[in-house]
Amino acid sequence: MDSMPLIGDKFPEMKVQTTHGVMELPKAFAGKWFILFSHPADFTPVCTTEFYAFQKRYPEFRKLNTELIGLSVDQVFSHIKWAQWIEENLHEKIEFPIIADDGNVSKTLGLIHPGKGTNTVRAVFFVDPKGIIRAILYYPQELGRNFDEFLRMIKAFQISDQHGVAMPANWPENELFGSDVIVPPADSEAVAEERKSQEGCLDWWLCHKKI
């Protein structure tokens, strides 16, 4: 691949070595959402807090038909020992797989940003059940991620796909509409005229409703 994949692209097919054995992506998660997230290195403070946070929310992700898979440019034995340390010292067993990348996955996904060093940045890929990349987030090494936001995003994607709607800022706690969703824009003059008098419409192009 000449360039890193973008939102709307098919997630690149790849065979990866993980703490759960060899896996083929995105095939291994066919029919499910999955979040692939990279971290700079094992046995580092911020990354440890992130893995703990992800594992604490793993049951919630699974209820949303969503799997998790981590990644860094560390060998598999390092991942295993680090996961053991987390279980022994923080009392949380890491149940999701972690990719031991030799650099090829990071190169394909654009996870190493030279301006931030030779380790992988904190990247996050959201992939839907059809293997399509729906969102990509990047964080610098010094900033830990907000994992409740990832749950919010998965919930929002699933509601959007099911009902054909969009989410306002800070959904489901939007300052204007609360937990309501945004109705797609009018696609004709007739519909635009109807919406001027509809409940939940501030104007023909700004309508909200409950789901």
| Model pLDDT for residues 98-109, shown as the tens digit of each residue | 999 988 998 899
**Judgement on whether residues 140 and 173 belong to the same structural domain of the protein:** no
DSSP 73: S
Token digits for 23? 């896996």
Whether 6 is in a domain gets the answer no
Token digits for 146? 């907000």
Whether 8 is in a domain gets the answer no
Identified catalytic residue from 25, 36, 47, 73 = 47
DSSP-derived secondary structure for 151-211: HHHHHHHHHHHHHT-B--TTTTSBTTTBT-EEPPPPSSHHHHHHHTTSTTEEETTEEEE--
**Judgement on whether residues 60 and 18 belong to the same structural domain of the protein:** yes
Query: How many structural domains does the chain have?
Result: 2
CB 77 within 8 A of CB 107: no
Percent of the chain residues topping a pLDDT of 70: 99
**Judgement on whether residues 101 and 173 belong to the same structural domain of the protein:** no
Determine whether 207 is an active site residue: no
pLDDT, position 2: 53
Task: State the residue range of the domain holding 65.
Answer: 14-145
**Judgement on whether residues 170 and 138 belong to the same structural domain of the protein:** no
**Judgement on whether residues 121 and 49 belong to the same structural domain of the protein:** yes
Model-level pTM?
Answer: 0.93
CATH number at residue 201: 3.30.1020.10
Taking the C-alpha atoms of residue 79 and residue 86, their distance in angstroms, rounded to an integer, is 11
Residue 49, pLDDT > 60, answer yes
**Judgement on whether residues 127 and 194 belong to the same structural domain of the protein:** no
**Judgement on whether residues 61 and 90 belong to the same structural domain of the protein:** yes
Whether 108 is in a domain gets the answer yes
Whether 3 is in a domain gets the answer no
Q: Which long-range CB contacts under 8 A does 25-31 form with residues at least 24 apart?
A: 25/69, 26/127, 26/131, 29/67, 29/69, 29/127, 30/129, 30/131, 31/129
Work out the average pLDDT over 62-91: 96
pLDDT, position 112: 78
**Judgement on whether residues 139 and 92 belong to the same structural domain of the protein:** yes
